[in-house]
Amino acid sequence: MTTASFHFHGRLAGLLPRELRHATFARRCARAATLKNAIEAMGVPHTEAARVLVNGADATLARIVRDADEIEVFPWDDAARAQTAPECGFIADAHLGGLARFLRMLGYDTRYDNGMDDAEIRRLAREEQRVVLSRDRELLKCRDILRGGYVYALRPEDQLAEVAARFDLAAHARPFTLCLYCNVLLAPVAKAAVLDRLPPQVAEIQNEFTRCGACDRVYWPGSHYERMQGVLARVLRATNERK
């Protein structure tokens, strides 16, 4: 066994047992343990370690813990850098349906199915190179999840603000371009082609429509659209103000 000292900064402290929060503490580790092994043994998924210092120097999670090492672990919001938005999109676990819907509203390809189990999430994340969003720390500890994010907030709007800040989503947002149900790119459609499906009051005042090629849902900028525009605008504005 080796003994090293650890300090977890910022919100990472909240993932530790209560007696270890906001303090430097010693911990015994197996002789061949990596930083990833040691950090996760204390309840913090490797996806949440934005930066690790060992004896004052940057280190990778593959480094072996040595006797008397002084280890500091920083979250993304304390690392003074945002992760880049994933080109291949996100995959949200079964508890994050509201967040998935918001991400689709922003135009981010987001896989979600509340029937998906952890094995399926891991497979899709690996094969499609998606970022896994979850409140399940054990899922995020899996070795084959290379990019992920633990979602701290409970309300979907707060979750969106958290994810938008961490992955700099404001830079590439394309609001209202994806179907909220199918995650498929929407296409413009002529009013005449969908007129028989519109409520009378919508047909009277709206002239711009889009349609999902998968589920055939029709979208227009109604009152719900305006409310959601307000939510997204607040989130993106707050994200930009943090920079």
Quickly state the pLDDT bin for 98 (edges 50, 70, 90).
very high
State the pLDDT at residue 42: 93
Whether pTM > 0.75 for this model: the answer is yes
| Tens-digit pLDDT profile for residues 48-59 | 999 999 999 999
User: What are the extents of the domains in the chain?
Assistant: 2-78, 82-176+226-243, 178-220
pLDDT for residue 87: 79
**Does residue 20 carry a pLDDT above 60?**
yes
Q: What is the three-state SS of the chain?
A: CEEEEEEECHHHHHHCCHHHCCCCEEEEECCCCEHHHHHHHCCCCHHHCCEEEECCEECCCCCECCCCCEEEEECHHHCCCCCCCCCCCEEECCCCHHHHHHHHHCCCCEEECCCCCHHHHHHHHHHHCCEEEECCHHHHCCCCCCCEEECCCCCHHHHHHHHHHHCCHHHHCCCCCECCCCCCEEEEECHHHHHHHCCHHHHHHCCCEEEECCCCCEECCCHHHHHHHHHHHHHHHHHHHHC
Residue 47 has pLDDT above 90, yes or no: yes
Confidence of residue 130 (pLDDT cuts 50, 70, 90): very high
Which pLDDT score, from 0 to 100, does residue 50 have?
92
Q: What integer is the mean pLDDT of 80-108?
A: 87
Please give the CATH topology (third level) of the domain spanning 2-78.
Ubiquitin-like (UB roll) (3.10.20)
Mean pLDDT of 155-180: 89
- Give per-residue pLDDT as tens, 29-43: 998 999 999 999 999
pLDDT level of residue 224 (50, 70, 90 thresholds)? confident
Confidence of residue 239 (pLDDT cuts 50, 70, 90): low
